[in-house]
Structure 1
Amino acid sequence: MKSSQLHPASLIAALFCLLAIACAPPRSSRITIGAKNFTEQVVLGEMLAQEIEAITGEQVDRRFYLAGSYLCQQALVSGRIDGYVEYTGTALTAILKQPLPPVGQRDEATVFREVSSLYASRYHVKVGPGLGFEDTFAMVVRGDDAKRLGVKTISDAVKTPPDPNGWRLGVGYEFQSRPDGLRGLEATYGLRFAGDPRTMDLGLLYRALSSNQVDMVAGNSTDGPIRALGFVVLEDDKHYFPPYEAVPLIREDSLQRHPGIQGAMDRLAGKVSADEVRGMNYAVDSEHRDVAEVVREFRKSKGL
């Protein structure tokens, strides 16, 4: 007859397992929507949350300001959130770790199909229909410099830097390390910069550009300050960046438990233009308006 006593090592292992279970955050019975840590993400997270509340009549928990794509992905896979809004190009390269497709195969439909298939097979996550706009990376310069140097495209910027040593570049943390970010951009265009890029929080990029600390920043095409401060987005004339269509990502088991989420995604599909999201970003960033109020006004304007 075997002893009923546990070996000390087994006892320690069991205690660690119990501790891990006890410390793991319980999955909320309420729907939880996440967002990354910049204004547009919070706007889109709030939009999805409000639409789900309108359809289901249930309160939705918000878990916003998660620091980047990686943490949002981990929160989604672990069940700490039921969904969030991602961008297809980011999903393809930064999360799914797929190589950039050839230039001729970087259309929205092809990238959407691949992203949808991989999320479903790997993570049991559904990619919802696009919200109606794309938020691509954008190489942004001061309007005065663009006019003085005659630069309209990234290729123009390669030929005509503001200084013989090149452009002084400011980037966010993800852009410097992503496969669809800085290294590929440099290789595609032959861009050369004056010294190492200055890496900073996304919210500081335009302040640095405005105060002449840098000459070019890697921002996002829907950022509110671009228009407000008279900056210019350089055309990606070699089509380096893949599509970045804004799409909801929702766990399949969450859709089974809360069918109203699908209804919310369907109602939001195609409803948001790039100009409209740029306007909402500006209202929050520059006019310091409440995100929930800005989103409610937008939904009302769309009859939602």
Structure 2
Amino acid sequence: MGELVATFEKNRAGLGTALLQHIGISAVSLIIAMLIAIPLAIYSIRHKRLANVLLQVAGVLQTIPSLALLGLLIPVVGIGNVPAIIALVVYALLPIYQNTYVGLNNIDPSLEEAAEAFGMSRGQKLTRIELPIAMPVIISGIRTAMVLIIGTATLAALIGAGGLGTFILLGINRNEPMLTFLGALAAALLAIAFSVLIQVLQKVKPKTLGIFVLVFAVLLGGGIGYSRYQASRPTVTIAGKLGSEPDILIEMYRQLIKDDAPSINVKLKPNFGQTSFLFSALKNDQISLYPEFSGTVLESLVHTDVKANQKSAKQTYRLAKKELQQQYHMTYLKPMAYNNTYALVVKKSFAKRYSLTKISDLNRISAKLHGGFDLEFIDRNDGFKGIQKIYKLNFSKISMDADLRYQAIDQGKINITDGYTTDAQLRQFNLVALKDDQHLFPVYQGAPLISKETLKAYPGIKKSLNKLANQITDEEMQDMNYQVSVKHRSAKSVAHKYLQSHHLLKAGD
């Protein structure tokens, strides 16, 4: 309990912001879902075939995996709140529609006949008889939808919409269970609070309910207006992938930019998600820049027949820069020194037992291997596909979240996984990266990938960010990752210490 309280105190300000973001996304999604589902259910009461079709459609929509739905929405509507709200509305439609339909359909026919005998119109029957009787069932559907929305909204953090999922992802990524528990606990308490609120609103008078809805609408409108005002301000938005290393790099970018031009409004979006999410956001001008690796550019982002693993570090970077400019009109600034390439990783004790020093040695013990790999690694030609093709290796494997694979190998659930050469976990869990003796993995040098609009608006950014060119060795990056992931120091302080010690900031900063 003491550790939880300490974690709360340390992250109280960020938790408050995340909670407000989560409430905003959840409330808007629930209201939109109600405005769609309830009228459709009322209309379909007299159209049984339509009702069956709508039930089937809503059921099918709810079976779509949430991450897949977000991935499908990003190319269409971009990132942030909009795709998150659309996805949440989709998941909330079925329980609200189904319960509203069932509640209205099960009303005693004698009550309908009595209402008609009194000369009530269709609208009067609906508002005075049908909806009041069906209301407990409708509220039950709304409550189910609300719990579903609050739980699923944690994934909004993956696409830059914030919310309590940010704490869950950070906790998993940094191996801080209390941070994950704090985010999950806050989400659970929020669901309970919403459930109680809905139950209270069910008992209030219609006039009081109307006043509440009006006040909520005004507050919501004010919040949306303020958000749009904030979004309209000239801002350099720097995003980063999941992990301590991107957190450190985007903090360095921010501090370098602010050091040279304090008037520039810089906004960070850490733990943004997979490569495809960030690249899509950059293409759609929803972020200004993010750190990307030269090998990733050639293997995953641009269209080229050139094999990245056949090129030197300089050749890989130059080709990546050229293709990004020609195909997407993006600027790839100068790279840092370190090479954060892929590696196959085993425990040092496992390597010693079977005399493993390079990937080719694994052929001798392929029957003993049980791997757990990041899904992106499994699907890449410079990942597991390349391992199978070049090294002729094939062994049992499972896919797992990138942040959980190191815990799995440490606990003995798997005995081989993918990693990066600068990962702090190599040091933390006493692991060794096997030598890539067939040169499968390309060179991965990090560099800022920036939109031409950002450079046009803020030309001085180029000079600021290029201060990191040829800086940061493999050992320095691994140590900084260790400080953040294992020692739980803030990415901001670790980044600032490095910049200061290498005289990249002005004196006294």
| TM-score class, shorter | 0.7 to 0.9
Residue 255 of structure 1 corresponds to 455
Deviation at 1:192, TM superposition (A): 2.1
Deviation at 1:181, TM superposition (A): 1.4
Question: What CA distance in whole angstroms lies between the structure 1 residues aligned with 2:320 and 2:308?
Answer: 16
Matched residue SS, 1:61: strand
Deviation at 1:102, TM superposition (A): 7.4
Residue 421 of structure 2 corresponds to 221
CA contact (8 A) 2:298 2:308 kept: no
Write out per-residue CA displacement over residues 41-84 of structure 1, whole angstroms, 9 at most, x where no aligned residue.
11111111111111111331001211111011011111111111
Q: What one-letter code is carried by the residue in structure 2 that aligns with 1:143?
A: K
Residue 499 of structure 2 corresponds to residue 299 of structure 1 = yes
Deviation at 1:28, TM superposition (A): 5.0
Seen in structure 2, the aligned counterparts of structure 1 residues 129 and 27 have a Cα distance that, compared at 3 Å, is: farther
Question: What CA distance in whole angstroms lies between the structure 1 residues aligned with 2:334 and 2:400?
Answer: 32
Deviation at 1:130, TM superposition (A): 0.7
Question: What CA distance in whole angstroms lies between the structure 1 residues aligned with 2:451 and 2:349?
Answer: 46
Match of 1:73 among 255, 270, 279: 279
CA contact (8 A) 1:55 1:263 kept: no
Match of 1:144 among 334, 340, 349: 349
Residue 382 of structure 2 corresponds to residue 180 of structure 1 = yes
Deviation at 1:212, TM superposition (A): 0.4
Write out per-residue CA displacement over residues 79-138 of structure 1, whole angstroms, 9 at most, x where no aligned residue.
1111111011111111114345275x3211221121111111121111111111110001
Question: What CA distance in whole angstroms lies between the structure 1 residues aligned with 2:237 and 2:372?
Answer: 34
In proportion to residue count, which structure has more helix?
Answer: 2
Residue 322 of structure 2 corresponds to residue 120 of structure 1 = no
Question: What CA distance in whole angstroms lies between the structure 2 residues aligned with 1:152 and 1:82?
Answer: 42
Question: What CA distance in whole angstroms lies between the structure 2 residues aligned with 1:275 and 1:290?
Answer: 19
Q: What one-letter code is carried by the residue in structure 1 that aligns with 2:354?
A: L
In proportion to residue count, which structure has more strand?
Answer: 1
Question: What CA distance in whole angstroms lies between the structure 1 residues aligned with 2:313 and 2:337?
Answer: 12
Deviation at 1:228, TM superposition (A): 2.5
Residue 434 of structure 2 corresponds to 234
Seen in structure 2, the aligned counterparts of structure 1 residues 166 and 112 have a Cα distance that, compared at 3 Å, is: same
Matched residue SS, 1:66: coil
Structure whose CA Rg is larger: 2
Residue 39 of structure 1 corresponds to 244
Identity level (%)? 28
Residue 291 of structure 2 corresponds to 85
Residue 315 of structure 2 corresponds to 110
Seen in structure 2, the aligned counterparts of structure 1 residues 100 and 152 have a Cα distance that, compared at 3 Å, is: farther
Match of 2:402 among 187, 191, 202: 202
CA contact (8 A) 2:424 2:478 kept: yes
Match of 2:476 among 258, 273, 276: 276
Matched residue SS, 1:160: helix
Deviation at 1:27, TM superposition (A): 6.1
Match of 1:166 among 353, 368, 373: 368
Residue 464 of structure 2 corresponds to residue 264 of structure 1 = yes
Matched residue SS, 1:203: coil
CA contact (8 A) 1:167 1:192 kept: no
CA contact (8 A) 2:308 2:316 kept: no
CA contact (8 A) 1:175 1:182 kept: yes
CA contact (8 A) 1:38 1:202 kept: no
Q: Higher RCO, 1 or 2 (CA under 8 Å, sep at least 6)? A: 1
Deviation at 1:238, TM superposition (A): 0.4
Seen in structure 2, the aligned counterparts of structure 1 residues 100 and 169 have a Cα distance that, compared at 3 Å, is: farther
Question: What CA distance in whole angstroms lies between the structure 2 residues aligned with 1:97 and 1:275?
Answer: 32
Question: What CA distance in whole angstroms lies between the structure 1 residues aligned with 2:503 and 2:383?
Answer: 38
Matched residue SS, 2:412: coil
**Which aligned runs of 4 or more in structure 1 are off by greater than 4 angstroms?**
23-28
Residue 246 of structure 1 corresponds to 446
Write out per-residue CA displacement over residues 215-268 of structure 1, whole angstroms, 9 at most, x where no aligned residue.
111011100010222111000000011111111111122111112211112211
Q: Which runs of 5+ in 2 are unaligned?
A: 1-76, 84-227, 505-509
Deviation at 1:38, TM superposition (A): 1.6
Matched residue SS, 1:240: coil
Match of 2:255 among 50, 65, 77: 50
Residue 25 of structure 2 corresponds to none
Q: What one-letter code is carried by the residue in structure 1 that aligns with 2:408?
A: A
Matched residue SS, 2:404: helix
Q: Which moved more, 1:45-54 or 1:143-152?
A: 45-54
Seen in structure 2, the aligned counterparts of structure 1 residues 224 and 138 have a Cα distance that, compared at 3 Å, is: same
Count of residue pairs brought into register by the alignment: 278
Residue 94 of structure 1 corresponds to 300
The TM-score with structure 1 as length reference comes to 0.87
Question: What CA distance in whole angstroms lies between the structure 2 residues aligned with 1:267 and 1:48?
Answer: 10
Seen in structure 2, the aligned counterparts of structure 1 residues 27 and 106 have a Cα distance that, compared at 3 Å, is: farther
Question: What CA distance in whole angstroms lies between the structure 1 residues aligned with 2:493 and 2:254?
Answer: 13
Deviation at 1:160, TM superposition (A): 3.2
Matched residue SS, 1:79: coil
The TM-score with structure 2 as length reference comes to 0.53
